C-alpha cells in the first residue's frame, strides 16, 4: 500500500511523493487527475500495463502546507479504500 515517503516544495507546489520513481516506466509519469488545488500524478509501473499514483501536488498559492498535508491524508484514505474494494 502506498503512503507519503517524502514532501518536496517547488516554487508553486507542495508535492507528496508516494512511491520511488524507479517503480515507473521512464517517461510515463504524468497528470492523471486534477481537483481544485490538488493534482494526482501517476505513471505505468515497470514491467506492467498498470497505472498507479506517483505523487500528489498542491498549489502553494491556494493552500498552506498544513492544509496540503490534511488533503493528502484524506486523498490517500480514499485511494486505500478504493483499492481494498478492488482487492
Instruction: Report pLDDT digits (tens) over 7-30.
Output: 999 999 999 999 999 999 999 999
Q: Does some domain include residue 80?
A: yes
Residue 27 pLDDT: 97
Q: What nine digits make up the cell of 38?
A: 490538488
Beta bridge partners of 42: 30, 53
What pLDDT score was predicted for residue 20? 96
Q: Using the predicted structure, report yes or no on whether residue 87 has a pLDDT greater than 70.
A: no
pTM for this one?
0.91
Q: Which domain holds residue 47?
A: 6-86
Domain count, the chain: 1
The Cα–Cα gap between 24 and 10 comes to: 21
Please tell me the predicted confidence (pLDDT) of residue 82.
80
Q: Is residue 67 part of a domain?
A: yes
> Looking only at Cα atoms, what is the longest distance across the chain?
38
Tell me: the pLDDT tens digits for 34-86? 999 999 999 999 999 999 999 999 999 999 999 999 999 999 998 888 877 76
Instruction: Give all strands of the β-sheet with 30-35 in edge-to-edge order.
Output: 6-9, 13-17, 51-59, 38-44, 30-35
Predicted pLDDT of residue 79: 87
Q: Is residue 1 part of a domain?
A: no
Amino acid at each position: 500500500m502506498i503512503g507519503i515517503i517524502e514532501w518536496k516544495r517547488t516554487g508553486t507546489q507542495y508535492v507528496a511523493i508516494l512511491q520511488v520513481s524507479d517503480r515507473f516506466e521512464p517517461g510515463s509519469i504524468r497528470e492523471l487527475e486534477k481537483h481544485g488545488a490538488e493534482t494526482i500524478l501517476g505513471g505505468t509501473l515497470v514491467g506492467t500495463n498498470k497505472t498507479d499514483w506517483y505523487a500528489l501536488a498542491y498549489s502553494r498559492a491556494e493552500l498552506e502546507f498544513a492544509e496540503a498535508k490534511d488533503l493528502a491524508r484524506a486523498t490517500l484514505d480514499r485511494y486505500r479504500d478504493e483499492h481494498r474494494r478492488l482487492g
